[in-house]
Amino acid sequence: MAKIKPRKIHWREIATAAVFVLVAAVAVCRLFYMQVVSYDKFKKDTAGSISSETGIKASRGLIVDANGVVLADNRTVERVFISPADMKSDAERRLVSENLSRILDVDYDVIYEKTLKKNRKDETVKKNVEKEEADMVRAFVSKYNLSSVHLITSTTRYYPYSNLLSHVLGFVGSDNQGLYGIEYQYNTYLTGVDGKIITAKNGLGQDMPYDYQQYIEPQNGYKLVLTVDSNIQSMLEKYLEECLEESGADNRVTGVIMDPKTGGILAMATKPDFDCNNPYVLDEKSQKALENSGYEQGSEEYMKYNTELLMTMWKNKAINDTYEPGSTFKPLTVAMALEETLVTHSTAFYCPGYHLVEGYGRVRCHKTEGHGALTLDLGLQQSCNPVMMMTAEKIGTETFYDYYTAFGYTGLTGIDLPGEAGGIFHTRHDFNKVELSVYSFGQTFKTTAIQQLTAVSSLANDGNLVTPHLVKRIEDDQGNVIADFETNIKRQVISSKIANEVMSVLEEGVANKLGSSNAGVKGYKVAAKTGTSEKRDKKDKEGGYSLRVASCISIAPADDAAVSMIVIVDEPTLSREEGSMIAAPYNSKIMGEVLPYLGYLPSYSDDDEQYRSVTVDTYVGKDAETAKSEVKKLGLSVETIGEGTTVRGQMPAPGTSMTVRNGKILLYMTNDPDVKYVTVPDLLGRGVQECKELLQASGFNSALTGTPSQSSQCYAVKQYPEAGTKAKEGTVITVEFRISESDDGTLID
């Protein structure tokens, strides 16, 4: 048998085998890379190519007040969208475009253009569709059995109280993102995480023959709990509206109410304001300005002016605008000097009506004839500029500037709202004797309302300067606290002793009618300081510098402060321009409602007793003797009219507030009493006693409001019903009194 020789392997075969091995190795490595190393990536890519996602909007977090009242809510709406990929013909595209255009008030061509995007599964036609329109869309879809038109539930922002707290809350845009105010400042917390529905699709984008759907639940935004009390906010806004109407303020009015010990803002408002649900609608005054601008509607100039008016309307005057604080700064000048032991409360001064400032000349007092001899305390209470200037000279430029900085005027308060403006002031290098003099009474530098209130409120907080804030805490849907904002004390500027002493001086000035009297509230200890500052950087219509800013800061109860407040009236035109005459009375009205609401009960001195009011009870249905006895217990006199034993009617009506002194209740004993109608006398400009005598002689009762006193400077400024009208005998005539005071004036020659 022949021996077979082994076959010789050719090099080409070796090369071919090597290639196969190499290719196999590469394939194995590639598979390992795809299936192990990059598994998650390719899984996501593959899922994306065979699935369709539909977004589910998360609900924006609620904003509630300190009592849980919802101030910013969400309203259920729907998004209408189409799936062009599911449209079977051009006829269907035109049918859909025509009907959705009619129902949703969207341009036909816009919708039709969307229907031509044949590879698209989700083209939005309209967002935030209300229920009525959404139901009409459903009826249309059902009628034609369409699979190309869809609705998905969403939410839109809704403000139940419209204008209330508008400058603080702000508003959101069409995408539900915060654009202004708290909505903007805390947008990250308020914005939730959207969810989605993932549905399986084949390569043609059609539904798979098996059921595959994944639902990823949206996560709602966090809830903000504010320090604001909506009831106190309503009180503030009510009286700011009244103040705006009386003063005719050309540059708006603003007010802030704060807890001076914690910095928590209880209320903040600017008037005119806007509707948070319709923020692009101008207020009445702004709309008139636009209409009278002379610009053609729709023109570039018209639209630009409209935007400017909107921006002004949205500005929160309490934090975005600066002003010269005037005499409301004077308590801080006094506190600095007392803290440095450079003066005492009884240090003597003399005011000839001006003070000569080295390097400048004569700077006048608002009382041009001069106050004469007075102490430091009287100088503060009577708002004497020369006393402040002489006191500041004792302090010196360096020390004064140190305190000015410590009170926070060279920085920001840090309030949790966007756009806080910084003050305008001289640098330390440029702060010389002239600046020292005029700064001492609050002129030639600018601050914001919130900064001024925060600085003066330190006097009510043992000298401690705090950070004002609006958000108390942040919670999730289950009520778990995500963040809690406690009191932040920045520093102690002056000692507790000096702070309390200055508060006592201010309270004494109000109580004894020595200064800021119109800010007083019957039955309460109120510390207050008014101010009237010149606007030296803006001319009036005649080219002069007559424009003023009137303001008042008040704190109560003065011996254990719970509330501090500032009211600013910018450019009053229809009333007295002094802070003491137009701002302080509204501090009084607001504080007069806030304090009882917070549980602080009034206590009356003998002087207050003659102006004390009571609320009339219901006497109808009671026997005459019982009714008369109850009336007399209130300190009122009583008269019965007609024959009978049971009260059939009364005057004043139940629930009416009236002054006790000289007050009378008329009890009608028959169903058809002989009622007298009397002409209401003109009381404006008259003193308290004269008004009471006129009303009593006419058969009327009275309700004395404001600051009634026997001072010769006290007079009636308002009455209701108006003079000359006819009213029933026994009707309560409400009369508001103010004490004529001045706190600043033209200051520099």
Reported as a single tens digit per residue, the pLDDT across 376-409 is: 999 999 999 999 999 999 999 999 999 999 999 9
Contact 444, 435 (CB under 8 A): yes
Beta-strand (E) ranges in 542-627?
548-556, 563-570, 613-615
Expressed as residue numbers, the domain containing 701 is 610-739
What is the Cα–Cα distance from 236 to 104, expressed in whole angstroms?
Answer: 41
Residues 689 and 707 in one domain: yes
Q: Is residue 249 part of a domain?
A: no
Which residue among 569, 588, 603 closes a domain? 603
Q: Rg of the Cα trace of the chain?
A: 37
Which residue among 226, 247, 267 closes a domain? 226
CATH code assigned at 396: 3.40.710.10
* Tokens (6 digits) for 422: 């910084």
Residue 646 phi/psi, 5-degree rounding, is -120, 135
pLDDT tens-digit readout, 61-84:
999 999 999 999 999 888 999 999
CATH code assigned at 639: 3.30.10.20
What value does the mean pLDDT of the chain take? 90
DSSP 82-114: E-GGG---HHHHHHHHHHHHHHHT--HHHHHHH
Q: Which residue has the higher pLDDT, 336 or 478?
A: 336
Q: Is the pLDDT of residue 443 over 90?
A: yes
- Residue 749 pLDDT: 41
- Residue 22 pLDDT: 72
Instruction: Report, as an integer, the average pLDDT of 49-66.
Output: 78
Q: Is the pLDDT of residue 564 over 50?
A: yes
Instruction: For residue 20, count other CB atoms closer than 10 A to its CB.
Output: 10
Q: Is residue 36 part of a domain?
A: no
- Residue 746 pLDDT: 46
Q: Is the pLDDT of residue 497 over 60?
A: yes
Quote the percentage of the chain above a pLDDT of 70. 89
Q: Is the pLDDT of residue 324 over 60?
A: yes
* Tokens (6 digits) for 619: 């006497």
Instruction: Report, as an integer, the average pLDDT of 93-116.
Output: 94
Q: For the chain, how many structural domains are there in total?
A: 3
Alpha carbon distances (Å) from 698 to 657, 693, 704: 19, 9, 16
Residues 643 and 575 in one domain: no
* Tokens (6 digits) for 493: 């500027």
Binned at pLDDT 50, 70 and 90, residue 175 comes out as confident
pLDDT tens-digit readout, 4-14:
555 555 666 66
Strand partners, 215: 197
Residues 549 and 674 in one domain: no
Q: Is the pLDDT of residue 690 over 70?
A: yes
- Residue 537 pLDDT: 87
What is the Cα–Cα distance from 715 to 12, expressed in whole angstroms?
Answer: 122
Instruction: Report, as an integer, the average pLDDT of 666-670.
Output: 94
Bridging pattern class, strands 253-258 and 265-271: antiparallel
Residues 716 and 731 in one domain: yes
DSSP state of 34: I
What is the Cα–Cα distance from 220 to 192, expressed in whole angstroms?
Answer: 4
Residues 580 and 615 in one domain: no
Q: Is residue 294 part of a domain?
A: no
Which residues, at least 6 apart from 169, have a Cβ–Cβ distance to it below 8 Å? 63, 71, 72, 159, 181, 182, 183, 276
* Three-state SS annotation for 202-226: CCCCCECCCCCEEEECCECCCEEEE
What is the Cα–Cα distance from 258 to 278, expressed in whole angstroms?
Answer: 28
Contact 225, 474 (CB under 8 A): yes
Largest CA distance in the chain: 160
Amino acid at the residue 15: A
Residues 577 and 620 in one domain: no
Q: Is residue 250 part of a domain?
A: no
B/e letters for 587-606, b = 16+ CB within 10 Å, e = fewer, are bbbbbbbbbeebebeeeeee
Residues 564 and 646 in one domain: no
Quote the percentage of the chain above a pLDDT of 90. 77
Residue 701 phi/psi, 5-degree rounding, is -95, 170
Sheet holding 664-668, edge to edge: 637-641, 664-668, 649-651
Q: Which residue has the higher pLDDT, 159 or 542?
A: 159
Q: Is residue 6 part of a domain?
A: no
Binned at pLDDT 50, 70 and 90, residue 576 comes out as confident
Contact 235, 594 (CB under 8 A): yes
* Tokens (6 digits) for 227: 């320090």
Residues 429 and 537 in one domain: yes
Alpha carbon distances (Å) from 228 to 39, 70, 471, 557: 53, 12, 8, 19
Bridging pattern class, strands 664-668 and 637-641: parallel
* Alpha helices (runs of H) in 486-583, residue ranges in sequence order: 496-511
Q: Is the pLDDT of residue 449 over 80?
A: yes
Residues 585 and 727 in one domain: no
Amino acid at the residue 251: N
What is the Cα–Cα distance from 570 to 551, expressed in whole angstroms?
Answer: 8
Instruction: Report, as an integer, the average pLDDT of 728-739.
Output: 95
Q: Is the pLDDT of residue 648 over 50?
A: yes
Instruction: Report, as an integer, the average pLDDT of 693-711.
Output: 92
Q: Is residue 705 part of a domain?
A: yes
Instruction: Report, as an integer, the average pLDDT of 439-451.
Output: 97
Nearest to 189 by CA among 219, 221, 227, 217: 221
Please tell me the total number of residues recorded for the chain in this structure: 749
Query: 19: burial class by Cβ within 10 Å (0-12, 13-18, 19+)?
Result: exposed
* Alpha helices (runs of H) in 431-530, residue ranges in sequence order: 433-439, 449-457, 496-511
Q: Is residue 288 part of a domain?
A: no
Residues 103 and 87 in one domain: yes
CATH code assigned at 153: 3.90.1310.10
Which residue among 586, 603, 620 closes a domain? 603
pLDDT tens-digit readout, 257-282:
999 999 999 999 999 999 999 999 99
Query: 434: burial class by Cβ within 10 Å (0-12, 13-18, 19+)?
Result: middle
pLDDT tens-digit readout, 325-384:
999 999 999 999 999 999 999 999 999 999 999 989 999 998 999 999 999 999 999 999
* Tokens (6 digits) for 689: 């006693």
What is the Cα–Cα distance from 86 to 103, expressed in whole angstroms?
Answer: 21
Residues 624 and 592 in one domain: no
- Residue 3 pLDDT: 53
Q: Is the pLDDT of residue 664 over 80?
A: yes
- What number of CA atoms fall less than 13 Å from residue 73's CA on the CB side? 12
**Torsion sign (Cα): 387, 393, 398, 399:** negative
Residues 596 and 695 in one domain: no
Residue 407 phi/psi, 5-degree rounding, is -75, -5
Q: Residue 442: left (phi > 0), alpha (psi -120 to 50), or beta?
A: left
Contact 198, 214 (CB under 8 A): yes
Q: Is residue 656 part of a domain?
A: yes
